[in-house]
Amino acid sequence: MCGLLGLICGTTHDTQQARSAVAAALHCQRHRGPDESDTWVDDEVIYGFNRLSIIDIEHSHQPLTWGPPEAGQRYTLLFNGEIYNYLELREELITQHGAVFHTSGDGEVIIAAYHYLGPAAVGRLRGMFAFLIWDAERRVVFGARDPFGIKPLFYATGPAGTAFSSEKKSLLELTGTLGLAGELDRTALQHYLTLQYVPEPESLHGAIRRVESGCSFTVSPGESPVFERYFAPEFTARKVTGHAEASELHERIASVLRDSVAKHMRADVTVGAFLSGGIDSTAIAALAREHNPDLVTFTTGFEREGYSEVDVAAESAEAIGVKHVVRTVSAQEMMDVLPLIVWYLDDPVADPALVPLWFIAREARKHVKVVLSGEGADELFGGYTIYREPLSLAPFEKVPGRVRKLLGAVSARIPEGTRGKDLLRRGSIPLEERYYGNARLFRDDQLRRVLRTFDEGVGHQDVTAEPYRISAGWDPVARMQHVDLFTWLRGDILVKADKMTMANSLELRVPFLDSAVFNVASGIPLDEKITKATTKHALRRALAMIVPEHVLNRRKLGFPVPIRYWLRTEMYEWARAIIDDSATDDVLDKQAVRRLLDEHKDGIVDHSRRIWALLVFMIWHGIFIEGRIRPTVPEPHYPVKL
């Protein structure tokens, strides 16, 4: 887990000047890799790297150069992430191809696999990764990002070349070098306010984009990158015909999870685990303890009743026999740290849960250098409550289209906040129109009130059309899962997981998001995912002998945040000041935003999530557009080497 920055130069460049620019831009992502920092230069490529040493600590320095015996030092690698099956791949490359290695890390395995297997090598990697390989013989860079988008990779192309980076802020430092403008992308902003995150491949700076999850690319000096999708997830469920076949499925799930956790425990440093009150993180912690009896787990919560899983997590920790650390967070702490968190984020994410995640990551880093977490289980195994919506809306499917449109018109006349209004509205429209991921913030009619310019041609279909096209003919729950893999998972869940842990120089690993686990999960039939009584049915049955009884069928909370209450009380004046101070008048109707805040304070409508999204954007704008807000970024320093 590290931070990379690579510049593939254009036709004209000053190598020394470009190297100095890369070294300077690398500094603002030092939190991703405080253990080592270095740069490397070829005639047309400049690499910079910050290392967080996890595997083969004394060696495997980056940028890493490797070549087969007959080709010298042909390749140079920048690599952020971990390859969990690197030992097996290494042995295969030695046995079948005669590969020679000089370190015991996973970086050389990536290069050797690419040399002997070509671009297809990326499909053999079990792990989280973003990497660049410079081939000095062919004068081309080959790169890739992991299948699910666990590790970030931004890029920008300008007259002076193409740059790739783990952090967008490093590319913002290079906009002058590349000859780019750092202007706000209003289409991306409209998507953000709809979805609560900026969808791939967009960013809020129009000149900077993201390499999409599951994609590889090539780029030569003086040319633009060419992208190719190497991973296209499919849910191909086959009906379970009886008890014996169901039991076999549950055993396969338990077996592949046990194997994934075992491989995710590979490290030369201490590994801990995040632990909430839900089944996903508890399962990961319980399986991790099989490899480390001294495992330490971490959880966070709030003192307000109903917004904490601290007690349940502590009970789980005791039941599975692990040490446990708790960090509670106050409203004042959230207000104090939010500008710094937004700086770490690069692009706004309107999920309040990222704030307690930052605090628990900070606490965990005092004890360990790596943590396991349960992200991805809901998307792969059908865990979100909204996935049961097709069951509740099934009666609407029998209603003629004309009548369904009439029901939608009736819903529009029902006052906001009235029970049943949204159910009626959603039942009146088809899946492709009503479901655009596990988060929904502003509807179009609400956006028109707060945006100075609302673009009628911009909508969630821009983001979801392709996943829906690919999944035509699948059952509705599988289609919703597929949409979430390309939206909510990689736009919100994995962004906050990576950014908040790396802000504290902590590596986070997600054993559910493993290619072997997906191969099993993608074949689970509908009735083994969703029932009238529960979600993740097959996963719960698979984990019945692994997790404590009290969490087996418990509804997931995650890290809930009481902003609904706080924005009416101690956070009200703070929020009002952010709105008043923000220089976003050209894009937002600030008076309309104030009305939202006051309506929420008075209890008229719960606007808390929409208000939070606007506040996060305003802080982001103050940092990255206005330059008015300048958070004090601490130097990464850890007294204990882990």
DSSP collapsed to 3 states, 558-602: CCCCCHHHHCCCCCHHHHHHHHHHCCCCCCECHHHHHHHHHHHHC
Structural domain harbouring 347: 243-335+343-383+486-552
Q: Is residue 332's pLDDT more than 90?
A: yes
Q: Does one domain contain both 121 and 204?
A: yes
How does DSSP classify residue 119?
G
Res 640 pLDDT > 50:
no
Q: Clarify whether residues 450 and 506 are in a common domain.
A: no
Tell me whether residue 411 is annotated as binding. no
Tell me what the pLDDT averaged over the chain comes to: 93
Which residues, 6 or more positions from 475, have their beta carbon under 8 angstroms from its beta carbon?
237, 526
Q: Is residue 563 a part of any domain in this protein?
A: no
Statement to judge: residues 354 and 418 lie in one domain: no
Same domain (yes/no): 311, 402: no
Handedness of CA 460, 164, 231, 349 (dihedral sign): negative
Instruction: For 47-60, write each residue's pLDDT tens digit.
Output: 999 999 999 999 99
Residues 20 and 73 in one domain: yes
Q: Which of 2, 9, 28, 215 is catalytic?
A: 2
pLDDT beyond 50 at 436: yes
Q: Are residues 527 and 394 in the same domain?
A: no
- In this structure, the answer to whether residues 464 and 492 fall within a common structural domain is no
| DSSP-assigned letter for residue 527 | G
State the total domains in the chain.
3
Q: Is 522 annotated as a binding residue?
A: no
Would the pLDDT of 408 be above 60? yes
List the single range of 66-80, 299-313, 565-579 with lowest mean pLDDT: 299-313
On the question of a cis peptide bond just before residue 68, with omega within 30 degrees of 0, the verdict is: no
pLDDT for 555 equals 67
pLDDT at site 13: 62
Q: Which DSSP symbol is given to 554?
A: P
Q: Which among 330, 325, 335 has a CA at the least distance from the CA of 362?
A: 325
Instruction: Tell whether 618 is covered by a domain.
Output: no
Going by C-alpha positions, the residue among 326, 316, 259 that lies closest to residue 291 is 259
Give me 466's structure tokens.
Answer: 């392709």
Question: Cα–Cα distance between 440 and 438 in angstroms, integer?
Answer: 7
Residue that is last in its domain, among 171, 205, 229: 229
**Is the confidence at residue 278, as pLDDT, over 80?**
yes
Contact 367, 273 (CB under 8 A): no
Per-residue three-class SS string for 261-299:
HHHHCCCCCCEEEECCCCHHHHHHHHHHHCCCCCCEEEE
The DSSP result for 197-212, as a single string, is SPPTT--SBTT-EEPP
105 annotated ligand binder: no
- The pairing of beta strand 36-41 with beta strand 45-51: antiparallel
Which tens digits make up the pLDDT trace of 107-128?
999 999 999 999 999 999 999 9
Looking at residue 557, its pLDDT comes to 59
Answer whether residue 572 is part of any domain: no
Instruction: Report the phi/psi class of residue 536: left, alpha or beta, with left for phi > 0 and alpha for psi in -120 to 50.
Output: left
Closest by Cα among 535, 421, 438 to 482: 438
Percent of the chain topping pLDDT 90: 80
492 has which bridge partners? Answer: none
> Average pLDDT for residues 569-573, to the nearest whole number?
97
With a pLDDT cut of 70, the percent of the chain lying above it is 97
Neighbours of 236 (CB within 10 A): 10
- Residue 548 falls within a domain, yes or no? yes
The pLDDT score that the predictor gives to residue 440 is 83
DSSP state of 522: T
| 22 and 96 co-located in one domain | yes
pLDDT exceeds 90 at position 37: yes
Least confident of 288-292, 302-306, 429-433: 302-306
Which residues, listed in sequence order, are joined to residue 210 by a DSSP beta bridge? Answer: 154
Say if 640 falls within a structural domain: no
For every residue of 362-427, DSSP letters joined together read: HHHTTT-SEEE--TTHHHHHT--GGGGHHHHTHHHHTS-HHHHHHHHHHHHHSPTT-TTHHHHHHH
Q: Is residue 636 part of a domain?
A: no
- ω into 201 cis (within 30 of 0): yes
Local confidence band at 71 (pLDDT 50, 70, 90 cut-offs): confident
DSSP symbol at 107: H
Please report, for the domain that includes residue 367, its CATH number.
3.40.50.620
> Three-class SS of residue 505?
coil
Q: Name beta bridge partners: 156.
A: 163
Residues 6 or more apart whose CB falls under 8 angstroms from that of 528 comprise 240, 246, 249, 537, 538
Claim to verify: residue 214 and residue 120 sit in the same structural domain? yes
pLDDT category of residue 307 using cuts at 50, 70 and 90: low
Whether residues 412 and 546 share a domain: the answer is no
In the predicted structure, residue 346 carries a pLDDT above the cut 60: yes
**In the numeric block, which tokens belong to residue 530?**
């969703």
Q: What is the mean pLDDT of residues 479-501?
A: 97
Give dist(CA 147, CA 445) in Å, integer: 35
Residues 376 and 391 reside in one and the same domain: no
- Least Cα distance to 233 among 475, 450, 521 occurs for 521
- Does position 412 have pLDDT exceeding 70, yes or no? yes
In 3-state terms the chain splits into helix, strand, coil percentages (rounded to 5) of 45, 15, 40
CB atoms within 10 A of CB 393: 17
Distance CA 167, CA 175 (A): 13
Q: Is 590 a domain residue?
A: no
For position 407, what pLDDT does the model report? Answer: 76
- 613-632 burial code (b ≥16 CB/10 A, e <16): bbbbbbbbbbbbbeeebebe
Apex 393 CA angle, 389 and 398, nearest 5: 150
> Which of 552, 570, 597 delimits the end of a domain?
552
Q: Residue 535 falls within a domain, yes or no?
A: yes
Q: Exposed, middle or buried: residue 505 (CB in 10 Å: 0-12, 13-18, 19+)? A: buried
Q: What is the mean pLDDT of residues 191-220?
A: 97
Pick from 200, 229, 258: which residue ends a domain? Answer: 229
Q: How many other CB atoms sit within 10 Å of the CB of residue 443?
A: 11
Tell me the sheet residues that pair with 155: 164, 209
What does the pLDDT look like over 363-380, one tens digit per residue? 999 999 999 999 999 999
Does residue 358 share a domain with residue 369? Answer: yes
Residues 128-156 have pLDDT tens digits of 999 999 999 999 999 999 999 999 999 99
Give the DSSP letter string of 10-59: -SS--HHHHHHHHHHHHGGGGGG-BSEEEEEE-SSEEEEEEE---SSTTS
Q: What is the CATH number of the domain that holds 74?
A: 3.60.20.10
Neighbours of 456 (CB within 10 A): 7
User: Residue 638's pLDDT is what?
Assistant: 64
**Which long-range contacts (C-beta less than 8 Å, at least 24 apart) are formed by 539-546?**
539/253, 539/279, 539/377, 539/381, 539/383, 540/279, 541/246, 541/250, 542/249, 542/250, 542/251, 542/253, 542/254, 542/257, 543/254, 543/257, 543/279, 543/283, 545/254, 546/254, 546/283, 546/286, 546/287
As a whole number of angstroms, the distance between CA 102 and CA 610 comes to: 53
* Among candidate residues 316, 277, 280, the one with its CA nearest the CA of residue 295: 316
Give catalytic status of residue 2 as yes or no. yes
Range 64-72 average pLDDT: 90
Residues 6+ apart with CB under 8 A from 238: 523, 525
pLDDT digits (tens, 9 = 90+) for 152-185: 999 999 988 999 999 999 999 998 888 888 889 9
**Least confidently predicted of 26-40, 229-243, 552-566:** 552-566
